[in-house]
Structure 1
């Protein structure tokens, strides 16, 4: 295919991608140094409609270093209809960190597993990932470095870093082979890009990009969880304590509430001092008291330290991106607290029960959720998950009370009544959620909320216990 015909065919494919908005495309170039990656990307960007293209060559910023590793890439995932080009990207991070022994062999393998999970999630959400490894022999690389240094117009491209990569050529070649072998997948293929003149490389890149735009690979199959619903330690609505407690009088409640909030305030200050991030997810039955629980927690906190996110139906912007994007972007910086009034668990609860997500989507979500939470824990954060439960009779009483109270009527919606009609379906979905997402460091706390005062105290106690355990482990 002649260059001009290739160029216009590629442009036409990109404009179709932008018009249809069914998927996004990521082109990632990694590999050896001084292999024309920058030159090729600049020329490719000139071929394309750059209003639909985003180019990223990243060095970690202080903002990115204060959040889990994958946050920096999730926030740059292109919208459906757009093309994202990454020079090195997540592969360069792993490749050079291992070459410089900043990643141990075990940590390197862990990173490759994270890459596989990340790319599988992207592919399942309609993001096509094409990966190109730029190849060059050691002698040819040295000759090219020397030529660049002797050319006044191009000498700026060569510095100590490029020479260091040259001395590491054999190491990078070996690590790169492992990296490619362990992350090759039908939905995220690797292709080799031999060192040639920039024009020839551009042609190869354009052809590879055109092939995945016109014939995108199939998304990966859903992987189901193997956790048992009866595993020990996993909460279950079938095992909610039925013990009857004497009501707490108002004076005793206020005293215990003040004590729990003072304790929380001290814990939060220490978390901020040690720069430990915290995520608190509130889930529960409608009218169980999530808002009241969140209010009692935030009343103890400095308003500058926390954010509350109420998760409802996704916006148009969020619908144009992979499902996990809107949760990754809300992760708190080090020392901050994010509270979620409903959360990513909506996919395996309301979206599942109401048919808003396909079975493949909600089944896949269990693994995606575990990976998401593990990344926060790996970063050193605290993950607190609270499920506030009430029985069906108590829920009806609260619905009727809301309907009869003018300043509370806004809390009761048609959705609440419809959800109540599917009570048994929700109960099954909730217990399966516990079974498949209860994990070390991300355990569920199931709180009986028929008694509002006891429930609010239990929320504070549950949060304080988890924060104090984290602070003790960090000493």
Structure 2
């Protein structure tokens, strides 16, 4: 390639990147994978020199202890670029599947399952306006062997040839076959695979840069669609109308005695979960003024403060808006042996964002499947997932709102947003019932709690968490 053509191409790439940074209308993820000895490092280094590297990050992941103590996809969700930026992943999730399959760490069934997960993950990225550029670097097995031998014979390049690369050379045929399956399962018109002959002396930079420029200059929004996973076994779906109604108020002395016993039992179980390295996620959703804060306080009072955190979820910040909507929830997941309590959660996608028309219907409809897949990742990692919905009736809510308004230490809890939400009570009731119906299943059921009586509700919360821990720990 002539110097003039090279400078023109470099200018096009940099211009596309700077426009990307200016508009912040999308992010770009470049995934580079394929065979060993194909010059991935050299290609990425040249790309990085051409790009504005203050807006670019290269992710060459070797899973850390922190990664291994979270669900598998945590390592990728938490490293996604913000809108306006570019991240280059070396092998990434594709390499994990390829080399796991080649080394038989992933059996045939597990490999097929991983491909489905990859297709879903990439669909989520496209739906979040992340442009995917996927590169497969190919090389003939004989040429690969000759090239590795040549590099190894030269003292100046010998460091590039590792035992792992020779192992990948010996697995060339398997990796080639698995690569075909991978590309077929994850091919998409919005993010096609660019397959390149990466034999020595072949120009990779030109076609890669041309492909990146075309991808970054594309203006069409990706179709909001994704592979639909298996239909889970669903138990009887709870609905707000199913609540039994008001129970007689529980005596304070009896309540205090039962609460002390419940907290002691929960404390014992929580310690066992910590010792066994089991992560726990407790999700609190419910009507405004249903008593989520008080219930959370009684729950956490039974836990060691060193082992839990409470995440209060409000409207996303300006920074969080630069990432896919799921990104901030992946950030807060507990490591093994820890507890995270979510005061409101990812279910806002199909509740407040739906009712307040913050997103279009195709987006919140898609949210149901995205939530199920997100929770599947938690369960697959061994997380104890407890989902609690605290429900009150309209009259009780009004009574509590009025009490907050005249109680100095509670006035901060009552906002204009609370009154606005109350005005749309029926819309929220419909959204809640739809949410329960779409996301209640045997593996991750909802516990619907009548919170008209705060004392009974708090005891019910501790009971539900205790039941889930007993099931997971398999104790009496």
Report the TM-score, using the length of structure 2 for normalisation.
0.96
Q: Deviations over 1:225-272 (max 9, x none)?
A: 8999xx751110121112x43221111100100011001100100000
Who is 2:138 aligned against?
A: 135
Q: Is the 8 A contact 2:129 2:221 kept in 1?
A: no
Structure 1 distance, partners of 2:235, 2:35, is 50
* 1:150 and 2:153 aligned: yes
Who is 1:105 aligned against?
A: 108
Question: CA, structure 1 residues 216+85, in 2 after alignment: closer, same or farther (shift >3 Å)?
Answer: farther
Aligned residue among 435, 439, 449 for 1:433: 435
* 1:23 and 2:31 aligned: no
Q: Is the 8 A contact 2:128 2:324 kept in 1?
A: yes
Residue 153 of structure 1 deviates from its aligned partner by 1.1
Who is 1:265 aligned against?
A: 267
Q: Is the 8 A contact 2:235 2:440 kept in 1?
A: no
Structure 2 distance, partners of 1:437, 1:277, is 21
Q: Is the 8 A contact 1:290 1:341 kept in 2?
A: yes
Aligned residue-pair number: 471
Q: Is the 8 A contact 2:349 2:367 kept in 1?
A: yes
Residue 198 of structure 1 deviates from its aligned partner by 5.8
Q: Give runs of ≥4 in structure 1 deviating > 2 Å.
A: 196-199, 220-228
Structure 2 distance, partners of 1:355, 1:376, is 29
Structure 2 distance, partners of 1:128, 1:266, is 48
Residue 186 of structure 1 deviates from its aligned partner by 1.7
Structure 2 distance, partners of 1:465, 1:391, is 26
Question: CA, structure 1 residues 42+182, in 2 after alignment: closer, same or farther (shift >3 Å)?
Answer: same
Aligned residue among 170, 175, 188 for 1:172: 175
Structure 2 distance, partners of 1:8, 1:263, is 66
Who is 2:325 aligned against?
A: 323
SS at match of 2:295: helix
Residue 221 of structure 1 deviates from its aligned partner by 3.0
Question: CA, structure 1 residues 223+152, in 2 after alignment: closer, same or farther (shift >3 Å)?
Answer: closer
Q: Deviations over 1:151-178 (max 9, x none)?
A: 1111100121111111111011011111
Question: CA, structure 1 residues 227+130, in 2 after alignment: closer, same or farther (shift >3 Å)?
Answer: closer
* 1:80 and 2:104 aligned: no
Structure 2 distance, partners of 1:150, 1:227, is 52
Structure 2 unaligned residues grouped into runs of 5+: none
Structure 2 distance, partners of 1:304, 1:387, is 26
SS at match of 1:119: helix
* 1:219 and 2:219 aligned: no
Aligned residue among 62, 65, 71 for 2:65: 62
* 1:455 and 2:470 aligned: no
Structure 1 distance, partners of 2:71, 2:342, is 18
Structure 2 distance, partners of 1:171, 1:355, is 49
Structure 2 distance, partners of 1:171, 1:198, is 25
Q: Is the 8 A contact 2:144 2:199 kept in 1?
A: no
Q: Deviations over 1:3-50 (max 9, x none)?
A: 111111111001000111000001111010010000010011001110
* 1:91 and 2:94 aligned: yes
Structure 2 distance, partners of 1:251, 1:68, is 43
Q: Deviations over 1:356-379 (max 9, x none)?
A: 122122111111111111100000
Residue 220 of structure 1 deviates from its aligned partner by 2.9
Who is 1:345 aligned against?
A: 347
Who is 1:184 aligned against?
A: 187
Residue 407 of structure 1 deviates from its aligned partner by 1.0
Question: CA, structure 1 residues 157+380, in 2 after alignment: closer, same or farther (shift >3 Å)?
Answer: same
Who is 2:293 aligned against?
A: 291
Residue 125 of structure 1 deviates from its aligned partner by 0.6
* 1:371 and 2:373 aligned: yes
Q: Is the 8 A contact 1:186 1:218 kept in 2?
A: no
Structure 1 distance, partners of 2:36, 2:385, is 40
Q: Deviations over 1:353-409 (max 9, x none)?
A: 111122122111111111111100000111110000000011011011111111111
Question: CA, structure 1 residues 351+218, in 2 after alignment: closer, same or farther (shift >3 Å)?
Answer: closer
Q: Is the 8 A contact 2:38 2:200 kept in 1?
A: no
Who is 1:233 aligned against?
A: 236
Question: CA, structure 1 residues 326+260, in 2 after alignment: closer, same or farther (shift >3 Å)?
Answer: same
**1:295-444 mapped onto 2 (5 Å cutoff):** 295-444=297-446
Question: CA, structure 1 residues 63+150, in 2 after alignment: closer, same or farther (shift >3 Å)?
Answer: same
Who is 1:275 aligned against?
A: 277
Q: Deviations over 1:169-201 (max 9, x none)?
A: 101101111111111112221110111456711
Aligned residue among 81, 102, 116 for 2:119: 116
Who is 1:468 aligned against?
A: 470
Structure 1 distance, partners of 2:272, 2:450, is 29
Q: Is the 8 A contact 1:388 1:449 kept in 2?
A: yes
SS at match of 2:70: coil
- Root-mean-square deviation (Å): 1.7
Question: CA, structure 1 residues 438+8, in 2 after alignment: closer, same or farther (shift >3 Å)?
Answer: same
SS at match of 1:200: coil
